A and B are shown apart, each in its own frame.
Chain A
Amino acid sequence: MISDKTFLRPWGRMIEGAENPVSDRSLVKSIRTPFRPIPRSLAVTLSLAVWVVVITGWFALTYSGAVKEMFLPRPDAVLATTVDMALDGSLWEHVLASVQVVLIGFAVSSVVSVPLGLTMGTYRIVQAFLDPLVNFIRYLPVTSFVPLFILWIGIGIEQRVAVIVFGIFFQQLVMIADSARGVPRDLVNAAYTLGTRRIDTVFHIVFPATLPNVLDVLRVTMGWAWTYLVVAELVAARSGLGYISLKAMRGFQVDVIFMAIALIGILGLVTDQLFRLARRIAAPWAN
């Protein structure tokens, strides 16, 4: 007889706390069953595999000559450019400039949107006043405001920060207000019967109750902040990943564009993971 443990070993721990050992047959069954968790090691393998597929495909397309290098650079050329720029220090300057713009923009936006969004979701009078305006502004294209920002704020870092803030603030506000509205009424009622004053409801009940949601909203909008980076560095920037990719466009340096895109993606991924970690630490009860 082979014990269940023998089958368990190659896959290790199950995701989402499923503790029962799996046999080979139930593994096949479980991956075909909707919503069924899969073994963690399989999940990790697959999430690496997707990159292997993408990068192999990239190699195949470029080295086979199917796509001209002018349109799609070879992966090793992109890597070589990255190493060159990292060694001469210019890469770090651009990364730092972009990180600065995104983080400041994100912080400025979030510091206002979280308390205001929670208040908006909690008090109907605030909602009634702000909703029409917010829902109007959040459909306006950020790009069309770039000339106005330059006119109003100039061409310093403030202008780039303003683009990021404009891109995410109103979206954050709407989503945070929504999660505040979703707080169960009886939770608030229970708090009242325990002596919570009305004025304390936002801070004592709505804020902790929505914290996991708020952190998710921040995580998602952080991703959007990265996508607005190129728009922010469209005009009048002297450094930054968006700036160098726009500059590279003029000289058909496709490898530089690819490098900038990849770096923005990687930085986005890093901030995303940091927010996931923050959620686990700040709201351990919601896991």
Chain B
Amino acid sequence: MSALKLSASPRSSDIDIDKIVLRYGNGENAVLALNGVSFHVERNEFCVIVGPSGCGKSSLLYLIAGLEERSGGTIAVGGKPVNEPGADRGMVFQAYTLFPWLTVAQNVEYGPKRKGIPQAERKDMVGHFLAEVGLAGFANHYPSQLSGGMKQRVAIARALANDPDVLLMDEPFGALDSQTRHSMQKLLLKVWDHSKKTVLFVTHDIDEAILLADRVLVMSGRPGQIKKEIRIDIARPRSMDLVMEPGFIAVKREIMELLKNGEDDDR
């Protein structure tokens, strides 16, 4: 019951990014990765960042998660300034990051256990979130026994079970084959619809960006900046068939043009 109560009143916050600068190294070897990036993600919004590789879009997520130190600017999640990693910002990584020494169930309850939530309640949460990602029968498996797609589903369940205010997703389906990726996108939309977390999702896959997003932020090449924001007004629930609709293709063309210009900028 507690798990259901939990998902009925989910926590969710906005993200405010203001003039973020990220510089690696010193002196002549310094690389400017991000140069004055500002944007705002609404509460409950599904926001996707697309950009060419090396534009610093992943670094941006690491900065919001507090896993990297920024060179300038401010980040606030739910009005609170970000200076350190914390359980209020859940993250799903591109690499598989399930703890290999824990079973699927133990991975999902890792965060709640750190918070001191009692075992009976944790058990409900594990059951709820594993069912949510369609892995109810795999509670006692070890991550090494799962496929790539299943690992990422557990990673999503693990992040959500910790009830973060925002969910940061760094190309979580990048390593999956296209079939699995489509089913993961569908699953993510369903899970998001239930949880209504604020999601900031990074990808280089334009189809994925349009299918998932309320709003797409297009970034330029290094040093990364927000080039344009595009609101996606396609009604939900969305199906994979959308990729052949004219409206979808028009948006896709626009984003592709923006990214292509970015390449020209580099020359």
Contacts and interface: CB of A to CB of B under 8 A. Distances in A.
Given A194-B111, A285-B142, A186 B97 contact: yes
* Contact size range, B: 20 to 34
A2 B142 CA distance: 39
7 contacts: A184-B95, A193-B65, A209-B101, A211-B101, A285-B100, A285-B143, A286-B100
B100 A194 contact: no
A150 interface: no
Contact of A193 (B89, B95, B99, B101): B89
Nearest to A184: B95
B101 A195 contact: no
A265 interface: no
Given A189-B85, A192-B67, A193-B159, A184 B101 contact: no
B192 interface: no
A187 interface: yes
B91 interface: yes
Interface string B60-77: 001001110000000000
Interface in B42-97: 62, 65-67, 85-87, 89-91, 93, 95, 97
Interface residues on A, range: 10 to 19
Given A184-B95, A285-B142, A285-B144, A193 B87 contact: yes
A25 to B, nearest CB: 32
Interface string B111-154: 10011000000000000000000000000001110000000000
A208 B67 contact: no
Interface string A182-220: 001011011111111000000001001101000000000
Contacts, number: 71
Q: Which 9 A-B pairs have the closest CB atoms?
A: A195-B87, A192-B85, A190-B97, A194-B111, A193-B91, A285-B142, A208-B101, A195-B114, A186-B95
A267 interface: no
In terms of DSSP, what is the predominant structure of the interface of chain A? helix
Nearest to A284: B142
A196 B87 CA distance: 8
B162 interface: yes
Nearest to A195: B87
B248 interface: no
Interface string A265-287: 00000000000000000011110
A189 B100 CA distance: 15
A281 to B, nearest CB: 13
A285 B164 CA distance: 28
B222 interface: no
A131 B235 CA distance: 60
Contacts of B142: 284-285
B114 A194 contact: yes
Between A191, A193, A284, the greatest number of chain B beta carbons within 10 A of the residue's beta carbon is seen for A193
A189 B93 contact: yes
Candidate in A184, A189, A208 with the most chain B CB atoms within 10 angstroms: A189
B197 interface: no
B196 interface: no
B159 A196 contact: no
A16 B158 CA distance: 31
A283 B102 CA distance: 10
A189 B144 contact: no
Given A190-B93, A193-B65, A194-B90, 12 more contacts: A189-B62, A189-B65, A189-B67, A190-B155, A192-B67, A193-B91, A193-B159, A194-B87, A194-B159, A195-B111, A209-B100, A284-B142
Contacts of B91: 189-190, 193
